[in-house]
Structure formats: structure tokens, C-alpha cells
Amino acid sequence: MANAVELTAPNGVKYSQPTGLFINNNFVPAQSGQTLETISPSDEKVITNVACANADDIDVAVEAARAALKSLEWKGISTSARGLLLFRLADLVERDRAILATIDAWDVGKPYTVAFEEDLGEVIQVFRYYAGFADKQFGQTIDTTPEKFAYTRHEPIGVCGQIIPWNYPVMMAAWKLGPALACGNTVVLKAAEQTPLSVLYLASLIKEAGFPAGVVNIVNGLGRVAGAAMTGHLGIDKIAFTGSTVAGREIMKASAINLKSITLETGGKSPLIVFDDAELDQAIKWTHVGIMSNMGQVCTSTSRVYVQESVYSKFVDGLKDYVQTATVIGDPFAEKTSHGPQVSKIQFDKILKYIEIGKSEGATLVAGGKRHGEKGFFIEPTIFSDSNDSMTIAREEVFGPFVVISPFKTEEEAVTRANDTQYGLGAAVFTQNIAKAHRVSAEIEAGMVWINSSNDSHYGIPFGGYKQSGIGRELGSYALSAYSQVKAVHVNLGTGKTDAQDSELQNVLRNVAPPRSPTLTYTTGLFMAIRSRSALRSSRLNTRPISHSVESEPLAALRVLGPVIDTPLTPIRRVAEGWFNSTVEAPGGKGTSPTYYRKTNQLRCFQKYRGATLGL
């Protein structure tokens, strides 16, 4: 294979490792000739070098994706054929599961057993899940009149730029590729510069599965170069990003150049609340899972723990004992290892810095707090107790095996403190009181809440956050809406008459009463008012009569508002009647009295502003 090297991993597995940029179903060198070193975090040795893309390479990849989007080899195949390609890819991942797990143990530092059982197991299921959805995206038919109807189509967004993180390389690629391809898009995916190897190997399987050239393009490169080129590229229609909140903000700015569709999954500082009626052994076990999984390198890690005062000391002691017993730090390829190294020297140094900050701020170091061994980026699982919410370690995302614990008194206090953060990705609640569990989960400001567990994930359940933890959702059927757009097609089967010309239809519409729900009626009234204001503005800008812009708006307003006699909407009803019967001039016409449209309790119907304009 061109642009590949033959490697032997520490566990003896031999395989061919692609090192080029995967563009148009070929591995090619970067145009600049630049490369990136990939370093094993276990022994700090270089594994190999891979091509490093710049903006010119991104241009080529986007051009390939754009051509594939319009090609009959992709656009012209059936939805079931798209699904079959994803099924084939899942089968190939399953065939080479041991190789992919080996690569992630070597390149990322994951325990091999975790990579094989958990990560690759989910990758296979994700591809199969979205393969099943490929031919099950249904539109609607909508009847409007006896002679008209409409239908909707789900169409691909176009070329999708996908930027994945270093903590779960193949899994994050699957999360993004699965729904994008099921919906018929084409992709330019950038692997993380720290951990590109397993994603490049996945690229070889994509070609083997039979995906047409250009449908999937995978590049390596620095975020500030290749990533920036993608987010600002006019040939990319959507950006899906997983990474830091800071980077997410920059991506939003860059994507505004052509109003790209955006999905962001960014940072977190997720809370875990333990009430005094919780089953403590269960809470302790899941607290360990929630923060120490993947060496704490999980965006949803429940790294802030709040424990009710009466069980606080018992919980802290129990967690310390459990972590020290359950954690086996060492070689990722060793069978019993549960805790590997941090992914890079940068992350390693960052975590050690936060440990020193915690000590200086006055928190109590309960366990860990130092490097493990002399080689590799290993850090002992670290527990701080007696923290307060003003401390840096309680507010900033550390992204490591690092947890802070503090006591609380009441349910209200716990919820308030849990929500006192810029993030809103996940949260966990431990209690045996079912009413309390649901009550607290409803009050927590987070996209995901676990009751009596932490960091559970399933490919069928939407994943995403509130606040500065992201925009949109991945996984489940919800991800499909992020990679498709809806087109409405209006069909006229009639004689060509307009609604305004059809007096019989007018009479029918005038006598149709809307639902009597005050909320629905009020909302519908607002909608009609907003449309009327837009038409008024249009008539002014284009210096044409408002009737040319509004057309049947008065009729529609009468139909909707005619039965309404509620005080807030009475003025709108009067205006609609006046428009229809030509007894009242349209807003802004000569002689219109601004006082006629006076304020009501809930709605300012008309207000004087350069004449009488419709205001809400």
C-alpha cells in the first residue's frame, strides 16, 4: 500500500498502517510534504509519521467530496444500497477489531480490553444502527385543500466537515460518519493530530467496503491549520465538531461566513449528586466509573461530586478505598490493566498543574496527586475533598482522573450548585426516592441525566449538552436531523384558480373555527400578526400596495381570529375584519389613527413608529 508502513505493535500484532491523507479513495502525501509524529503515551516513543494537511490539501478533499455528492455512483444509488455499504463497513470493523483495538492501545493509551470490548463494540453497533436507518427516512404528505396537497423530502445537507477529538478516535468517527452517510452526504473528516492512526486504518476499510471515491475523505493535520481551513471553507455545508468549548466558539465564528449548519459537542464539568438515602456502594462504584473511565478523558466525566452531609465522610472514605482497589495502572496491553496513560505530554502536564492548584487553594488531597512510574504519561487517580465552588478545580474542566467532592445540606442547595456552571453536558443523581430522582433530574440544566448511574451511553439515545456544552445532538434518530434538510413540495391538481378567486372556498374558510385552546389561539394570533408586519415592511420597501404583499392575509386572519373574543386578541380581530371589509385602512395608510391600535394586557397590536406599524 502506497503511503503506508508495516508495523509490529507491542503485543506482537503486525499490520499495514496507512500514513497518507485519504482523498478520493487513495492515500496521498500532503502537498507540502509535511508530516506529524505520532507518539505512544505509554513509553513516549515515536510510532510513525503521518501526512500533515494544510489548506491546499483541504481544498482538494472538499473538491473530491463535492464531486462525489453529485455523482451517480453516490447520488444515484438507492437508500438501501447506502445502508448496505454501512453494513459492510461494520462487518469489516468486526473482522479487524483486534487490529483497531491494538492501534488505540498503542496510539491512545487505552487498555486493550477496553478498546476491544467497549470502543470497537460500539463502533460496530453504530454503523449497523445507521445502516438500518438509511432506507427509513420518510417524508409526509399533507392535504391543504381538495385540489392541493404537499409532500416533504429529506435531502442531504451536502459536504460535511467533521472534526473529531483524540480520546475516542474510531468511536467518534463512527458517531459522525454513520448518520452523515445514511442521509446521503459526503464527508471530509479531520482526525485528531494526537491520535490519527486508527482513523486512517478505518479509511482503508471504507474503501474496501465499496464506498465510491470522494464520499469519505479523511485528513490529518493541526487544528489551527487544517481544522481552520475546514471551518471557513465555502465548499463545506456543515461542520460537526467534538472538542473544547474554546475551539467550539472559534468554529462558530468561522462557520458564519456561509452560515454553515453546525453541531458542536464541547466541554463539561458535570455534577454527581449523592443524597443520604442513596445506596452508597452503588454511588461509589458509579462515581469511579463516571470520572476514572478512559483515564478521566471523557467530556461527560462527572468530576464534581456533591454528597449530603450525613453520609459525606463515609462516602469520601469509601471512594478512596474503591479507587485504590479497583484501579490497576500500567501497560495498556496487560490483561489486568484498567488505567493507562494520559494521551500526551500536554495533557499530562496540564493535570499535574491542576493538582498543584488544588493544593494551593486549600482542598484536601485524599488520594493520588502524582505521577505513576518514571516512563510514560501515567497519573494516579486523584481525589480532592472539602472543595468549594469558587475553587478553580471545581469550575474548570481538567480532563483527567481528577475529582472534587464537597458536602451539601438540602436538595435545593445541591441543584443550585450543580447548575452553577457555564457547562451543561451531563449530570448524575443518586437516591432511592423515585420522586426525588425525577424531580431533581428535571431541575438539572444538562442534556443528559443519569439516575443511579453515571456516563451510561447507548447509540440509540441522543447525546449532547445545554449551555456552553454544545449545539445539537449526536446518536439516536436525532442525529439524522442534523445531517438532512427538509424540502416541502407544493402540488396543485386544480383548475388554476387562486384561493382569493374561489368564493366558495372563502365562505368555507371563514366558518372554520380553530381549536379553542387559549394558548393555541393566542399563539396563532401572534403568528398572523408577525406575517402581517412582514408584509407591511415589504410593501414599504418595494413601494407597492400592501394588498400585493398581504394578498389573502386578511382572509386568513379572519379564519383564525374570527371566533376569538378573548380580550388580548380583540383589537387584532377588529383590524382583520376592517381589512377584509375595506372599512379600515391597512397600517400606515393615510388617516390611520395610532390610538385605534392601543395597548392591551398582553399584546401591543399597533404602535406609532414612522406611521402606524404592527409591533409585538
Span between the terminal Cα atoms of the chain, in Å: 65
The H or E element spanning position 107 is helix 97-107
- Other beta carbons within 10 Å of 325: 9
Residue that the C-alpha cell 499530562 belongs to: 348
| Residue of 118, 122, 193, 265 marked active site | 265
Nearest to 254 by CA among 183, 215, 53, 264: 264
- Other beta carbons within 10 Å of 97: 18
- Respond yes or no: is residue 397 known to be catalytic: no
- Whether 318 and 284 have beta carbons less than 8 Å apart is answered as yes
Separation of alpha carbons 366 and 562, rounded Å: 70
- Other beta carbons within 10 Å of 302: 25
| Residue of 52, 160, 183, 299 marked active site | 299
Q: How far is CA 478 from the centre of its chain?
A: 10
Separation of alpha carbons 115 and 105, rounded Å: 7
List of residues 6+ apart from 70 with CB closer than 8 A: none
Nearest to 92 by CA among 211, 181, 10: 211
- Respond yes or no: is residue 94 known to be catalytic: no
Separation of alpha carbons 499 and 495, rounded Å: 11
Residue that the C-alpha cell 426516592 belongs to: 433
Separation of alpha carbons 348 and 367, rounded Å: 17
Work out the angle at residue 162's Cα, subtended by the Cα atoms of residues 135 and 69, and round it to the nearest 5 degrees: 50
- CA distances from residue 543 to 124, 535, 538, 607 in whole angstroms, order as listed: 60, 12, 8, 21
Separation of alpha carbons 448 and 467, rounded Å: 12
Separation of alpha carbons 321 and 400, rounded Å: 19
Q: Which three cell numbers stand for residue 560?
A: 383564525
List, by residue number, the catalytic residues: 265, 299
